[in-house]
């Protein structure tokens, strides 16, 4: 092997090594930038963009809760007579969530009160949603579609809460992030050794979740009108 050929081989090997290192660095940069950029872009979103995103998220949550309720009623096995219509549902733990909205004042003031009520409503569902997927995974015959949707609802609810708190910080800067919301006491019923108690508790849970998800979506559509267009639409 002559000297020029050896030199060329060393040159080629060195070039390939440099390209490999460069590709690794570019890959690491590409892998890390999107998450960081996404967080920055999210924090820098305008009020309109945040509201649009929140309304879209709340709509998605409403669709998911409707689906999960339908799947539960259709696919989960239960004994005859368990779900007869005359059986009275227990009250929802969020029924007491309300904020006194002043009759007079600017639309933005009304919007602030409505936003706080919606945040409190979502906060009241954080703990129940955290536990429901675990409970469902241990419930006999619970379809995987229900479990996956429950996890999706939990993730989207957290994202929606973050959006609403960003909106509140824009329209009322410096507002303390502390919210009053009712506690949920339904875990014991969902984990009851009695099958009928357990399944009826889940039925009631899904009924309340579906109802509240629709209320949140309705609130946010109204909020969008009040804050962006100074009207109740």
String of DSSP letters for 1-40: --HHHHHHHHHHHHHHHHHHHHHHHHHHHHHHHHHHHHHH
For the chain, report the end-to-end CA distance as a whole number of angstroms.
84
Banded pLDDT at 201 (limits 50, 70, 90): confident
Condensed to tens digits (0 to 9), the pLDDT of residues 12-43 reads: 444 444 444 444 444 344 344 343 334 445 66
Measured distance CA(211)–CA(219) in Å, rounded: 12
Contact of 78 with 198, CB cutoff 8 Å: no
Q: How far apart are CA 147 and CA 132, in angstroms?
A: 8
- Give the span between the Cα atoms of 100 and 114, in whole angstroms: 9
Q: What is the pLDDT of residues 158-175, one digit of tens each?
A: 999 999 999 998 988 876
Q: What is the pTM of this model?
A: 0.74
The domain over range 46-229 is classified in CATH as 2.60.40.10? no
| pLDDT category of residue 208 using cuts at 50, 70 and 90 | very high
Q: What is the pLDDT of residues 77-131, one digit of tens each?
A: 555 555 554 556 778 989 877 655 555 555 566 778 889 899 999 999 999 999 8
Question: Residue ranges per domain, the chain?
Answer: 1-44, 46-229
Both tokens of 176, joined, read 């303390």
């Amino acid at each position: 092997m002559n000297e020029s050929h050896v030199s060329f081989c060393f040159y080629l090997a060195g070039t390939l090594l440099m390209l490999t290192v460069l590709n690794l660095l570019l890959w690491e940069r590409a892998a890390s930038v999107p998450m960081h950029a996404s967080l920055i872009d999210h924090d820098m979103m305008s009020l309109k963009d945040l509201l649009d995103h929140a309304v879209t998220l709340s709509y998605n949550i409403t669709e998911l809760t409707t689906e999960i309720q339908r799947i539960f009623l259709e696919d989960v096995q239960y004994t005859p007579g368990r779900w007869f219509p005359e059986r009275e549902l227990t009250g929802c733990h969020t029924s007491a969530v309300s904020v006194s909205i002043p009759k007079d004042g600017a639309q933005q003031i009304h919007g602030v009160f409505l936003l706080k009520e919606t945040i409190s409503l979502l906060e009241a569902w954080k703990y129940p949603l955290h536990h429901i997927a675990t409970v469902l995974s241990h419930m006999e015959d619970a379809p995987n579609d229900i479990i996956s949707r429950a996890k999706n609802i939990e993730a989207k609810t957290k994202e929606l809460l973050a959006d609403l708190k960003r909106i509140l910080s824009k329209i009322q800067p410096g507002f303390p992030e502390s919210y009053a919301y009712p506690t949920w006491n339904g875990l014991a019923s969902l984990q009851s050794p009695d099958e009928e108690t357990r399944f009826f508790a889940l039925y009631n849970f899904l009924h309340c979740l579906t109802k509240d998800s629709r209320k949140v979506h309705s609130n946010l559509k109204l909020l969008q009108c009040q804050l962006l267009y100074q009207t109740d639409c």
